[in-house]
Amino acid sequence: MAGLGRTVLARQRMARLWGLGDRINPISKLPGLVITDDEFDVSIAPFKTTSDGGIPRRVQLISRAPFAPWESTDNGPTLSASIGLVLPPSLDEADAGEVASKGDMISISWQSLNHDPELLDPNLKPHVVILSDALQLANRPGRLVQAIHVIKNRFPGSLLWTPGLGGPDNCAVLAWFGVDLFDTTRTAQAQAHGAVLTWNGPRPANANEVANSHWESAIAEVHSAISRNRLRELAQSQSMNSPRLVEHLRRHDQIIHSSEGVLSQVVPRGTALRIHSSEGHHDPVIVDWIDFITNDYTKPNGLDEVLILLPCSARKPYSSSQSHKSFRRAINHSSAHEVIVTSPLGLVPRDLEEVWPAGHYDIPVTGDWTKDEESRVKDMLDSLISRNNYRVIINHSGLQYDSDVRVIDTRQGLSATNYEALDRLNKAVDENIQVRKRSGEMINLGNFKSVARFHHLNDDWLNGVQVRGRFPRWKILKDGEQIAMWSPERGSFSVSKACIPLMDSCNSLKRIYLKEDVKWKGDVNLVNLESYNNSIRAGEDILVMQGSQCVGSARASAPAWEWSATPGRLAKMHQRL
């Protein structure tokens, strides 16, 4: 049986853009279609399917192009699987006793997820997984996204097909969950009733309307969205087509929030967190940020006296905006703890304003706060204040806030950049800050340590360092040698080779282990990987070990959920010792 050549071209959380066939010039891309005839181009419909109609039914997935070109120039491979006995999801406690066949393509149902021990076999690495009762699971609250998540984590290198479920009206949502293959079953059913499935849902078909064009357009939109890290917004928009899709999306968010190794730590340049609807406020990356600031955030040393609350700005990072430059002139001091009050992140400390997602979000600004937004911010403030010893709070944010700590409202109903409000801000700072200003180096070092506590396991590797150079690419030196540089486009550090032994000794980065009998020359992949940390996030720097020896560092291309079986690059070499 020829292998199915597949390469991840782009990824966003559980969604991936796959290339099939040649890695450099793939013939087809997924998410895509499984069809019954040749009505679609192979570029978006790589497979045909046939069934023998028997009991149990056997399904074939026939490649429409040579997807294993290193083995043959003929079309292939052809995958087959027995569907087995599929009980209704309501009978999840029943053990049917008859399971589907296991091979390069396997069929899984809710019942088999609960009762088939063969699915735990580590040697089971199918190319394609069929969720055979996906249509039934979609009608049972929470079951569909739960089944998909379990399958994706168990078989991260496999393509997932949900027969009978996909359509141009839900493919973005399903792709966001991790579905790779759709079919035209629902499209054909709609046509039989004189309707057509569109991106925005079903409607009566127009005369001579070509239903296939809606599939082609929908899949093109999904491919583009994954490539540009915009699938989340596309899925949110499409979920409005039905209450069931909204429910699926919310339950998926809950699952992702409780899972390790799915989110990103550093995102590609140009990526933005676009919160253009109320659903976006539940994005797991936002909930993750709120959890960190509420429970784990520690402010820079020396900022114990005064807390200054400031409003956000449309421009990121905030300090580059005209309004925050005005605030900075009015404050004219560097020893207050500046915290920005914003929706949907709640609070953004000045020292973390450049990291993801704080430096990369976009939200419509109306000046009005919902009850939920106010409650979120006030809860976060209560937590921050309870964990520190602020003597006074200077509130220039415009949000009404009461505390046991003295609060000075410098806005008093005026705009944040109003002359009188800025004058009150200036006077409040002069009258209440009793400590000396921090030097520029102390400010940078405090900020960098804060980022290290957020991105790394600790900030110990920054003890005893000096910060030199020019804004914005500050150099970090230890004993006169450069060990890192601040990379503003990443919102993180670029670490030098000299820093790797230091981070190893300080246990400041997560570790992966390579097989001891291979020579590490480039990417980290399944061929040379021995073990890894289950909480690795995309974009994160990691220490590369062989046995007890640190041999360098790498930058994670994929989050940890993919690392057990996904072909291709998992991490890229950054420094080799």
Q: 403-419, pLDDT tens digit by residue?
A: 999 999 999 999 999 99
Q: In which band, very low, low, confident or very high, does the pLDDT at 89 lie, cut at 50, 70 and 90? A: low
Residues of the chain with CATH 3.40.50.10630: 297-432
- CATH 3.10.450-classified regions of the chain: 452-504
Q: How far is C-alpha 429 from the geometric centre of its chain's CA atoms?
A: 39
What are the backbone angles phi and psi of residue 230, rounded to the nearest 5°? -125, 15
- Find all residues with CB under 8 Å of 38, minimum gap 6, and list them: 48, 64
As a CATH number, domain 509-577 is 2.30.130.10
The model's pTM is: 0.94
> 521-541 pLDDT, tens per residue?
889 999 999 999 999 999 999
Residues of the chain within CATH 2.30.130.10 domain(s) are 509-577
pLDDT digits (tens, 9 = 90+) for 23-33: 889 999 999 99
pLDDT digits (tens, 9 = 90+) for 426-462: 999 999 998 999 999 999 999 999 999 999 999 999 9
pLDDT at residue 1 above 50? no
Out of 16-30, 94-108, 189-203, least confident range = 94-108
Whether 327 has a pLDDT exceeding 60, the answer reads: yes
Q: What is the DSSP letter of 186?
A: H
Mean pLDDT, residues 214-240:
96
Amino acid in position 221: E
CATH architecture of 297-432: 3-Layer(aba) Sandwich (3.40)
pLDDT tens-digit map of 69-80: 777 778 989 999
Contact 532, 560 (CB under 8 A): yes
Short-list 323, 507, 474, CA closest to 398: 323
Distance (Å, whole) CA 332 – CA 137 = 60
Least confident of 73-77, 311-315, 384-388, 505-509: 73-77
| CATH number among 2.60.40, 3.30.310, 3.30.750, 3.10.450, domain 452-504 | 3.10.450
564 pLDDT band, cuts 50/70/90, is very high
Report the pLDDT value the prediction gives residue 368, as an integer from 0 to 100.
72
Average pLDDT, stretch 133-140?
A: 94
The answer to whether residue 110 scores a pLDDT higher than 50 is yes
- Phi-psi bin for 375: left (phi > 0), alpha (psi -120 to 50), beta? alpha
Q: What is the pLDDT of residues 208-219, one digit of tens each?
A: 888 899 999 999
Mean pLDDT of the chain: 93
